[in-house]
Amino acid sequence: MATDVQDVLGARVKRVEDERFITGRGRYLDDISFPGLAHLAVLRSPFAHANIRSIDTSAARAMPGVLAVITGADIPYNPLPMAWPAGGSSGIRNNVNTPRVLATDGVKWTGEGVAAVVAETVAQAVDALEAIQVDWEPLPAVVDAEEALKPGAPQLHENAPNNVVFEWSVGNAEGTAKAIEEAEVVVRQRLVNQRLIPNPMEVRGDIGRYDPGTDEYTLWFSSQTPHIQRLLVGIFMMGIPENKLRCISPDVGGAFGTKIFCYPDYGLVLFASKLIGGRPVKWVETRRENYVSTIHGRDHITYVEVAGKRDGEVTGLRVKTIANLGGRLSTIGPGIPTTLYGRVLSGCYRIPNVYAEVTGVYTNTAFVDAYRGAGRPEATYVVERAMDLFADEIGMDPAEVRRRNFLPPDAFPYDNPSGLLTAVNGSKVYVDSGNYEPALDKALAIAGYADIGRAKEEARRRGRLLGVGLSSYLEICGVAPSKWIGAVGEGWGAAMWESANIKVHLTGKVVVTMGTQPQGQGHETTYAQIVAHELGVPMEDIVVQHSDTQGTPFGYGSYGSRTSNVGSTAAIKAAAKIRDKARRMAAHMLEASPDDIEIDGAEYRVKGSPDKKKTLQEIAFALDLAFDVPEGMEPYLDETAYHDTPNCTFPFGTHVAIVEIDEATGEVELERYVAVDDVGNKINPMIVEGQLHGGIVQGVGQALWEEAIYDEDGQLLSGSMLDYALPRASWLPTIELDETVTPSPVNPLGVKGVGEAGAIASTAAVANAVIDALSPLGIRHLDMPYTPQKVWRAIQSAKGGQA
Amino acid sequence: MSTEHVSLTVNGTRRELDVEPRRLLVQALREDLGLTGTHVGCDTTQCGACTVLVDGAAVKSCTILAVQADGRSVTTIEGMAAADGTLHPLQEAFRDQHGLQCGFCTPGMIMAAADLLAHNPDPSDAEIRHGIEGNICRCTGYQNIVAAIRQAAAVTREGTSVQPPATAA
């Protein structure tokens, strides 16, 4: 029945892709092998800042199995492109320095690659690394962004005085200064959003192959953006036309943003393959390598001022943020603390005066770029801590402060009066839809917020400090309208539309080819649900393809929770073209007018004559054989659509965290976590819940356990999973999810996107809960992560004891 | 480097290998035997993506040498389904409960869960969470993994003939 087939949209459909993963038949990068495969290992700098006087590779070349030893001087490629200058071409100066495939001008962080060995086996390549002699000239290093800005700090790049990458601002400087000056209450706080190491379970890896016969390259990589890399790696880095480079992402074992970017190893394996005559060359990181050669996230130091009235109204928010971008810039590093951070600093509130200044800084640390949430967790942390600090100052319930400042439900589409959402070229995005109070109310009710006082007393009797924390977040995703995000307006030197191709083969089987790129989000299922709904074809007759740039329409990949907004709409548009052509062909086959054809699932019928009908399969068959097609109609049922979203989308919600702290040990336990999220409509609620669970736990990880720590010499002390504490199952409660549903007007499905929302909300909720628990001791703020040692010291200090 | 001869049963089949003494079991499984379902996720024995069963017990195959598996019986994710393709209740449950997203941790997680359930057929949620402490997942937040293991435990208790795969040699 047509309706059964089409009912899959919005249903908890089990995932199509699971079959291969649960049987161990997934095909991740390191599972791929070829005859003649050679292996590459990279020699990485043990110093955070150093010149290279010389590199002697002679001994390495002589080692068993070694096919080549490469240094930066051997590689004629350009430095990697940086595709998102802060402020675009608005005139803001960006002092750009990006990595080369192998460093040629010294090294700027511990782990930067300086040489590579290609050998028959991985072990032989790694063994030969040890035989490479590098004459280093170590230099003083600086790892803290505020220190790096000070006169006298070690200078990383000649073109970046005081290690400044850019200075950017957004909002209404004068109005905000006035609001702060005239305010009844002003609260000021320094906040650190600490550096994180994203840690997808699959590290990065690549295989490069040069074909001497065609002078073409193929790059297999664990990447979120195969099509974009054809441009970045081909045109910008290698200086070859994009049609000489084919990029393929196999199954990607998690990414969370780390696999968006252009990386040096992409050029390295391609160069190496050509060097050794076209044998394929594979490189796969070790986890420790991942910690130094794949991007880090967050790392902001922020000074926030929140101004308002004693009655709870917030009148101004001023923010100064110093964003540590690392030793060289990653592909879109400057975009994260600017567009994706500064522009959402009013959160879900009516704050009429907002102004932010952001300084991007070079330090001798690994490069920083988008990590799940990319700027919005940082913004939410600032805004939600500010709301709590303000509430504390005026002695008001933090829930009440939020309620009083929420944008009302009739505010949408909303444009913050400080111009936060307006790009330099005047184009705007608007907060699409929202209704914040019901989500807050629901979250408070589920969490038992009204009874928290009693819960705190009861915990106290057990020697525990109980705290409750809120995070009412608004996030911007579904990126993005090309004219808003494009170079003139914002800096991302490209567009962000999306493509979908749908072919209906003569058997009635459907192939959907997408330009997006899953890394665990279940696209093979969700797109099939959409197309099943649109075309009336059963899901089992639909195959969703992606990831190979050969012969497929260009797409911008998956990140920024964009797939459900932009990708889905492209698929719907392509399906509409299919239906339209099928209708006209059906009319021809049935000798009726196209206007007299009604579509019921996959059946195309003449109105009023229900037995005069053709199925989509019959129509596809007829169009393939093309014996008899209408004048002017092309054979086959094959339609491509490109969709440029007219706006971003804006999920929102309120999360509530309840923690208990053991006063004697400082250990923080997350007792309950309640999340009420509004992601608009849902393609697959089961998948939505999974995204929320995963995002929430990552944000909790930041609050309680995770931190990338460098010592003052730039050595990464948290250099492996031994020292970087990733959340484990036994550390977490069962997350309680609920929802409100405010559809987005931006796309036909009414979806807002959900991939990052959990991570955007949760850090602030847990932070606020911990501070709430500690506040009876007079503690007003503490930087994350809330490790037992840190909390214990704060407690001792507050009690006047030795810390 | 010289090699050692190793003889082991993998997923019920006797395999003979010549390996360098330094070769890890996970490398032998993935590269010498082509069983790429077992994954390498770290280099410090933290993550558990490499978990297999050796003589029925969960072992991180990145932390034992191939030579240490000599004479033993190894079960990998590829050996969990029945010969006719019928999925193990754990595999079914992971799909039913959306206990995986990217799938990379999943084989190791399933093998660790198999060991857990073999020792504790009716675990509480807390016991499940403790039992998979040695396996890191970055995608799911563990919630649906716990639900999947709970389902598999129930199915097994209800007598849907689940033995740990025939490995105890």
Please spell the DSSP secondary structure of A267-286, one letter per residue: HHHHHHHHHTTT--EEEE--
The tens digit of pLDDT for each residue in A28-70 reads 999 999 999 999 999 999 999 999 999 999 999 999 999 999 9
Q: How far apart are alpha carbons A120 and A39 in whole angstroms?
A: 6
Mean pLDDT of A694-710: 98
Name every chain A residue with its beta carbon within 8 A of the beta carbon of B39.
28, 30, 201-202, 253
Interface of B with A in 20-79 (CB under 8 A): 20, 22, 30, 35-44, 46-47, 49, 76-78
Name every chain A residue with its beta carbon within 8 A of the beta carbon of B47.
201, 287, 721
Contact (Cβ atoms closer than 8 angstroms) between residue A476 and residue A624: no
Interface of B with A in 109-168 (CB under 8 A): 110, 125-126, 128-130, 132-133, 135-146
Spell A682-702 as b/e; 16+ CB within 10 A means b. bbbbbbbbbbbbbbbbbbbbb
At position A507, the amino acid (one-letter code) is T
Q: How far apart are alpha carbons B72 and B74 in whole angstroms?
A: 6
- The per-residue pLDDT of chain B, averaged, comes to 94
Task: Give the pLDDT band of residue A9 (cuts 50, 70, 90).
Answer: very high
Interface of A with B in 275-304 (CB under 8 A): 286-288
- The per-residue pLDDT of chain A, averaged, comes to 96
Burial environment of residue A738 by CB neighbours within 10 A (0 to 12, 13 to 18, 19 or more): middle
| Phi/psi-derived region of residue A396, left when phi > 0, alpha when psi is between -120 and 50, beta in every other case | beta
In chain A, % of residues over pLDDT 90: 95
Q: Is the Cβ pair B129, A690 closer than 8 Å?
A: no
Cα of A390 vs its chain's centroid, Å: 30
Name every chain A residue with its beta carbon within 8 A of the beta carbon of B139.
201, 254, 520, 690, 694
Q: In what order do the strands lie in the sheet with B4-10?
A: B13-19, B4-10, B73-75, B51-54, B57-60
Question: How many C-beta atoms lie closer than 10 Å to residue A625's C-beta?
Answer: 11
Q: Does B115 or A490 have the greater pLDDT score?
A: B115
The tens digit of pLDDT for each residue in A137-166 reads 999 999 999 999 999 999 999 999 999 999
Name every chain A residue with its beta carbon within 8 A of the beta carbon of B87.
22-23
Residue in B with minimal Cα distance to A64: B1
The tens digit of pLDDT for each residue in A516-536 reads 999 999 999 999 999 999 999
A223 reaches B (C-beta below 8 A) = no
Q: How far apart are alpha carbons A535 and A575 in whole angstroms?
A: 7
Interface of A with B in 544-583 (CB under 8 A): none
Residue in A with minimal Cα distance to B135: A728
Task: Give the pLDDT band of residue A4 (cuts 50, 70, 90).
Answer: confident
Burial environment of residue A426 by CB neighbours within 10 A (0 to 12, 13 to 18, 19 or more): exposed
Q: How far is B47 from chain A (nearest CA, A)?
A: 8
Token output for A730: 């036994």
Q: How far apart are alpha carbons A643 and A498 in whole angstroms?
A: 5
Q: How far apart are alpha carbons A262 and A269 in whole angstroms?
A: 13
In chain B, % of residues over pLDDT 90: 92
Which residue reads 């969370």 in tokens? A256
Q: Phi and psi at residue A412, in whole multiples of 5°?
A: -105, 150
Interface of A with B in 695-714 (CB under 8 A): 695-698
pTM, rounded to two decimals: 0.97
Name every chain A residue with its beta carbon within 8 A of the beta carbon of B96.
14
What is the reported pLDDT for A801?
64
Q: How far is A494 from chain B (nearest CA, A)?
A: 28
- Residue B73 pLDDT > 60, yes or no? yes
Smallest Cβ–Cβ distance between A693 and the set B43, B87, B144 belongs to: B144
The tens digit of pLDDT for each residue in A181-214 reads 999 999 999 999 999 999 999 999 999 999 999 9
Name every chain A residue with its beta carbon within 8 A of the beta carbon of B36.
24, 27-28, 30-31
What is the reported pLDDT for A437?
98
Smallest Cβ–Cβ distance between A729 and the set B47, B78, B146 belongs to: B146
Which residue reads 């699409």 in tokens? A432
Burial environment of residue A113 by CB neighbours within 10 A (0 to 12, 13 to 18, 19 or more): buried
